[in-house]
Amino acid sequence: MTILYVSRLNPYNIKSWSGLNYYILKCLKKTGIPVEVLGPINSPYRLFLIGVRVLFKVFNIKYDSERNIVLSEYYASQIHNKIKDKKYKLIITSDTFLVSKLNTNIPIYIWTDMLFNTWYSSYFKNEKIHPRSLYEANILELEAIKKSKKIILTSKWAVKEAIKFYKLDSKKFEVVRFGSNINFNLKKNSILKSILRKAKIKKLRLLSVGVDWDRKDMNRCIEISKILIKLGIPTKLVIVGSNEKNYKFQSKNVEIFKFLNKSIPSQREKLKKLFLKSHFFLLMSKAEGCGVVLAEANNFGLPNITLSIGGISEMINNQINGFAFKSSTDNNVIAKYIKDIFLDKKIYISLSLKSFNFYKQYLTWGMHAKKLIHILKR
C-alpha cells in the first residue's frame, strides 16, 4: 500500500502552513506505510488570481485566490498525471480544492483543521467576501466532500460545524488532532530541572506566540499582564511573531519579537529558550481551529492559559495541562488564577509536570500516527 500525499505548498518546507504540511508528511511516514509526495503545485493562472485578490483587498473585499473552479481543474489534471501510471492505495490532502475536480477510483482522505465555511465564518465573519468567490469556494468544498472517503478534522467542534452547514452524515468524519510543530525531543529529566529552576524565580514570565496580532488578541494578553503587576506580581510578557506596527506596545514589562523561523538554527534555538524560560503560555485567540501552539507549550512543560473557543477546548484538560476559560471571563479572574498558581510553588510544579505528561500521552505526532493508521486501514 502506497499513500500519495498531495499538497499545494511544499511539504518539505517547515515554514509552509506554519509547519503543518511538513509535520503531516512526517506523521504519514510514521505510520510505516510508503508515502510519495506531489507538491508544491503551482499555476500561472494562480498568479493572476492573486492579483485579483490584491485588487479587491483595496476595496476591503476578500477574494479567495485558491478556491477557483478553473484553478481546481488545473490542480486535478496535475494529480491525474501523477496517478495515471502508478498504483496508489489512497490519496490524502489537507487542501480540499486540490481534489474537488479529481475523478479517480482511488480513495481520497482529507485531513485538515476545519472545512471552508467553518474557517471563513470563524476567522473572517466581519469581512465582506466577493459573492462569486464565496459561491465557488462552497461548491468546490462540497465536491471535495462528496469525493472523499473520510474527512479527518482536528476537533469535534469542527466536525459539528461541518455537519450543520454542509448537511453531512457524521459517519463521514474522524477526529485526529495536529501535533506540535516544534520538536526538540525534550526528556522528562531536563523538563523537570527547568520547572524546578523556574519555580524559584520571583518574576513571572508569560509567553504568547502568533503572527496575527488581532485574532490572537495580544492586547488582551498585555492587559492580563498589567493586572498581574497591579496584583503585586512582577511580570514580563514576551510576544513572538509580531510585525513592525505592533512594536509600540513594547515596554520594560512587554518584550516583542518578530517572527522566529524554526528552519533557521539560531532562531529555532531562540524560540526554544523563550519557551524554557516562561512559566505560562497565553493564548487569548478570538477564533482558533486547533491551537497547535498549545501542544508546543505543553512540550516544554508550560501550562496553557487560554479560552474555550473553536477547537481549543479539546486541546485542554482543565487543571491537567492548563485551563481554558470562557471567552467572556473577566481578565481579572484570569490574572488571579495565574497569580494563585504561580505563588503556590507545589501546585505550579505539579501542573507543569502534568502538562508535559499530557503532551507525551495525547499530543505528539506519534500518537496521532497510531490513530491515523487505524483509520486508513479500515
Answer yes or no: is pLDDT of 83 > 80: yes
Answer yes or no: is pLDDT of 186 > 90: no
Lowest mean pLDDT among 11-25, 70-84, 129-143, 271-285: 11-25
* Model confidence pLDDT, tens digit, residues 269-322: 999 999 999 999 999 999 999 999 999 999 999 999 999 999 998 999 999 999
pLDDT tier at 247, thresholds 50, 70, 90: confident
C-alpha distance from residue 70 to each of 97, 213, 270, 284 (Å)? 11, 34, 43, 38
Partner residues linked to 323 by β-bridges: 305
pLDDT tier at 267, thresholds 50, 70, 90: very high
Cα distance from N-terminal residue to C-terminal residue, the chain: 13
At residue 105, the pLDDT reads: 95
At residue 243, the pLDDT reads: 79
Say how far apart CA 9 and CA 21 lie, in whole Å: 8
The pTM of this model reads 0.94
At residue 378, the pLDDT reads: 79
At residue 121, the pLDDT reads: 93
Domains parsed from the chain with CATH numbers:
3-175 (3.40.50.2000), 188-363 (3.40.50.2000)
Mean pLDDT, the chain, rounded, equals 95
At residue 248, the pLDDT reads: 84
DSSP per residue, 288-308: -S--HHHHHHHHTTPPEEEE-
